[in-house]
Amino acid sequence: MASLQHDLILTAGRVFDSTLDLDSPGAVAIQAGVITAVGPEVSGEAEARLDFPDGIILPGLVDIHAHPAPEGWKYGIDPDIEILPRGTTTILSQGDSGAGDWPQYREQVIKKSLTQVRLAISPALHGETGEIGTPTFENLEEVDVDACVSVINENRDLIWGVSVNASVNACGAADPREVVKKTLQIAEACDVPILYGNRWDPYDWPISEQLDLLRPNDVLTYCLHDGPNGIVENGKVIDAAWRARERGVLFDVGHGMSSFDFPTAELAIADGFMPDTISTDQYIRHVGSIPQHDLPYTLSKLIAAGSSHENAFKRVTTRPATVLGMGGQIGTLRVGSVADIAVLQWNNGDDNPLFDVNGNERPGGFYEATLTLKDGNPIRN
């Protein structure tokens, strides 16, 4: 019998996939953009082989809070330039487009990008198309329930749910309770989840009240910011967060420029409250940052805060894939699945300590992408 023929075989010192209970040296074989073999031993001939003895092969990373958008939009970055080459193959936009801009967003971002993009649509008609500093929801007439419901119902394959940010930066002088009320109307009418950014500055709406509004499968992002109105108070996770988790609310990092604090993360993890997903909130201000703000670097901060490497890997692969309703399609190396793959390498980073958004420092050591495959094709950085 002739040996199997593959387009490419990747080998590495470690292959990790929690869906396969796989964590060992091994290989992944690919043919026509699909994974054809995976495990400690992969047989057959291949047109090309790439070996990463010090690397780790993971499913393509999944970031459920980022800002892929057309050039000139408030937070928008080109996902194929700023995200895909760094190991992340699927991303969820946090409200970059609303119903009024959806046709442009669909054509210029979702259909044009090699990166797989899904949208948590903004309830505001024009999403995040304005200038930074312009409150998205200040004009409540722009928060159009009917228009948003219509667009979601017509595009359920591309729109995951609805996104709202209750912060003063997003709501301006508008009452955040009214903005969230309209968002809940949309989500309930369409039976879709919410990606929820909580209000913490000013501290005029208790986090416990905000959490009590969220439903099973809704996602609270910015979950590890410091200070009052966070999920950690007096050295432990607040009861409202535990209650929310018990009824199925999910918790996401959403690092960004102001939403990851090492002491808060360390207390939460030590208390047994690991976030469900790790995300970057990567947007225009991160372009050209040194070190580069990306998902491998962000997951490394969770490791520095006390997570095991394995738990962090799950939260950028299997867990977010499940949250997006795409479990088994992405976030896995299973035979027959699309060949979206990240190869990461550990950088000891002795001279590059990790910093949170408040300047707190932790010893160096972080992952960086060595190779990304999208649909089996290498992506050049």
**According to the model, what pLDDT value does residue 381 have?**
67
- What's the longest Cα–Cα distance across the chain? 72
**255-265 pLDDT per residue, tens:** 999 999 999 99
Task: Tell me the CATH number for domain 59-323.
Answer: 3.20.20.140
Beta-ladder partners of 5: 45
pLDDT above 60 (res 2):
no
**What is the number of alpha carbons within 13 Å of residue 370 lying toward its C-beta?**
18
DSSP 320-338: HHHHTT-BTTBS---TTSB
Which letter does DSSP use for residue 260 in this model? B
pTM recorded for the entire structure:
0.97
Q: Spell out the residues 6+ positions from residue 66 whose beta carbon is closer than 8 angstroms to its own.
A: 77, 79, 83, 88, 91, 92, 93, 94, 279, 280, 281, 282, 283
- CA 96 to CA 121: how far, in whole Å? 7
- CA 372 to CA 56: how far, in whole Å? 12
Domain with CATH 3.20.20.140 in the chain: 59-323
Task: Tell me the CATH number for domain 5-58+336-346+366-379.
Answer: 2.30.40.10
**89-147 pLDDT per residue, tens:** 999 999 999 999 999 999 999 999 999 999 999 999 999 998 888 899 999 999 999 99
Would strands 88-94 and 61-66 be described as parallel, antiparallel, or unpaired? parallel
- CA 51 to CA 291: how far, in whole Å? 26
Domain with CATH 2.30.40.10 in the chain: 5-58+336-346+366-379
**According to the model, what pLDDT value does residue 352 have?**
81
Of the chain, the percentage scoring pLDDT greater than 70 comes to 98
